[in-house]
Amino acid sequence: MKQRKKVLLSWTALVTASLLSSHPSLANDELTKASKDPKQWVMQAGDYANQRYSSLKQITTANVKELRPVWTFSTGVLRGHEGGPLVVGDVMYVHTPFPNVVYALDLNNQGRILWKYEPKQDPTVIPVMCCDTVNRGVAYGDGKIILNQADANVVALDAKTGKELWKVANGDPKKGETMTGAPVIVKDKVLVGISGGEFGVQGRMTAYNLKDGSVAWKAYSVGPDDQILVDPQKTTSLGKPIGANSSLSTWQGDQWKTGGGATWGWTSYDPQLNLIYYGSGNPSTWNPKQRPGDNKWSMTIFARDADTGMAKWVYQMTPHDEWDYDGVNEMILADIKVKGTPVKALVHFDRNGFAYTMNRETGELLVAEKYDPAVNWATHVDMKTGRPEVVAQYSTDKNGEDHNTKGVCPAALGSKDQQPASYSPDTGLFYVPTNHVCMDYEPFKVSYTAGQPYVGATLSMFPPKGENHLGNFIAWDASTGKIVWSDKETFSVWSGALTTAGGVAFYGTLEGYLKAVDMKTGKELYKFKTPSGIIGNVTTYEHGGKQYIAVLSGVGGWAGIGMAAGLGGDTDGLGAVGAYKQLANYTQLGGVLTVFALP
């Protein structure tokens, strides 16, 4: 009888999948519904709001100390493992950095491999990947798994078989265009960004039709109005129309064509407003003297119509960036009270060290405060103009080429890089993995050659003066812009956070520890050392009535680039190698998925 029931369920699932694949709008409804099922983890960020919160509560502050690893899976790849697995029904989908292998694992059979997809990629793409060969995960929808390959190909795979269904070229690695970000499926479209700000790419967000991979719309970060998909009168910044040529007028000549503004971070979506939100990265080059002006719309939060790509509002956080403070970190959508007033908020922890709370409907700036006490490059953000007040001592532009500007905080990798924070509706707080790192920054003249690094700066990184730790895990009140509590970490916390209804927040450390802390106090409740440093994002799911915690280990990424790429000079890895040299004393390379549960 049990066997017959299982066959019937499988047949029903097959019919459902078939129906969904022929009706993309139904598929989107199904994806939205699945994202609300805490037993599954169907999106990299957990849901469209990027909250990384789970209502599962079998694991609590009282029993989390009993957590144990119950099974593991080796990916067979040695570079940095960012992102995390997806859980769809009884199947877990695990990805790797280059060569971007995708595994489908059977949760009913001890993680047995159902299928494996390994793309054939030219290894010459590796040298044009700025900060390790990372990949932040696959997307699921409409019976498909979507993979962004390092070589800038976007691939749709059959979720049941791993068979390639379509493949499109989203960029050209010979120009330095690569892909590291996770795709996001919204309605009948796949949204993908591009990496390559250090190679002078023209950053963009592209929407492909989920059915066949054809282009639905493409929106650049910098350039002419028709390319960046803005309406000079209807698109606003802090409530005012941006006007004609809002980007072009802030670049010298044709510099916008190699202007950067890459889009390799995270994308969120508000179904009620039908708006997608994401950030653009640094302008090219890193030498600010060579590109006078605000360099719009690099370093910008975009709110775009999901169907057309047209921007409703924009906000540039770091005009004329002088420090490589990419604006690509996740936009977390949460309905919170700000100064006593309920707000449909967007909360963004920027690389520049300021945490922004905005009205996600209008783009109004509500809060902008430092979320790391070391931040010194600016005193504050002017709430009327939205511009940071830059401290002249730390202005690499004012100090000029071939001058080493010392002690700038944060370093180029930011007070937080791409490692996503989490929001708990239970506490109303945001849980943020941070970097506590400063730098010396010396710009120099550089010329553009397609496919060659277009950086033009030498950096070195180190802890803030008088301190010896490189990271903190913090709880943040986005309504007031204040740190509630802060836990010190020896190294940067490069892992994505997870919060749960059990009152527990989880994150990983660069030494390799999975840690669990009390969300109210920050008190450490549990830690377990996995085989390698953790730069992956912690996820949770339920299977067979039991709650599991899963995380990818595999040291690397920008913080671990010295180990991942075998670099030794203090200024190697765009300045990161010197700061993290001691990491090799704590962990070694190796991609492993570790799954935990209570006994």
Q: What CATH number did the domain enclosing 104 receive?
A: 2.140.10.10
- Annotated catalytic residue 426: no
Nearest to 524 by CA among 56, 64, 55, 53: 64
Q: List strands edge to edge, sheet with 112-117.
A: 86-88, 91-95, 102-106, 112-117
Nearest to 420 by CA among 482, 506, 489: 506
Flag whether 24 is in a domain. Answer: no
Q: At what angle do helices 2-22 and 24-35 cross, to 10 degrees?
A: 130
Nearest to 58 by CA among 523, 544, 552, 592: 544
Task: Identify the DSSP state of 175.
Answer: G
Annotated binding site for Ca(2+): 198, 282, 324
Flag whether 25 is in a domain. Answer: no
Q: Which residues of the chain have pLDDT under 50?
A: 1-22, 24
Using an 8 Å Cβ cutoff, are 535 and 496 in contact?
A: no
Annotated binding site: 82, 136, 180, 198, 282, 324
E strands, 245-329, are: 268-270, 275-279, 300-305, 311-316
Query: What pLDDT score does 15 carry?
Result: 39
Residue 373 CA, distance from chain mean position: 23
Using an 8 Å Cβ cutoff, are 17 and 143 in contact?
A: yes
Using an 8 Å Cβ cutoff, are 462 and 439 in contact?
A: yes
Flag whether 367 is in a domain. Answer: yes
Query: What pLDDT score does 151 carry?
Result: 98
Euclidean distance between CA atoms 458 and 439, whole angstroms: 10
Number of folded domains in the chain?
A: 1
Domain that holds residue 488: 46-597
The one-letter amino acid code at 396 reads T
pLDDT digits (tens, 9 = 90+) for 468-517: 999 999 999 999 999 999 999 999 999 999 999 999 999 999 999 999 99
Euclidean distance between CA atoms 580 and 562, whole angstroms: 8
Query: What pLDDT score does 26 carry?
Result: 52
Annotated binding site for pyrroloquinoline quinone: 82, 136, 180
Query: What pLDDT score does 244 carry?
Result: 98
Strand partners, 312: none
Euclidean distance between CA atoms 441 and 464, whole angstroms: 15
Nearest to 207 by CA among 229, 222, 225, 175: 229
Flag whether 30 is in a domain. Answer: no
Query: What pLDDT score does 426 carry?
Result: 98
On the CB side of 207, CA atoms within 13 Å amount to: 19
Flag whether 29 is in a domain. Answer: no
Task: Identify the DSSP state of 12.
Answer: H
Annotated active-site residue in 47, 151, 324, 372: 324
Flag whether 18 is in a domain. Answer: no
Neighbour count for residue 450 (Cβ, 10 Å):
14
Query: What pLDDT score does 8 carry?
Result: 38
Query: What pLDDT score does 278 carry?
Result: 98
Neighbour count for residue 356 (Cβ, 10 Å):
26
Query: What pLDDT score does 30 carry?
Result: 85
Flag whether 322 is in a domain. Answer: yes
Flag whether 7 is in a domain. Answer: no
Rg of the chain taking only CA atoms, in angstroms: 22
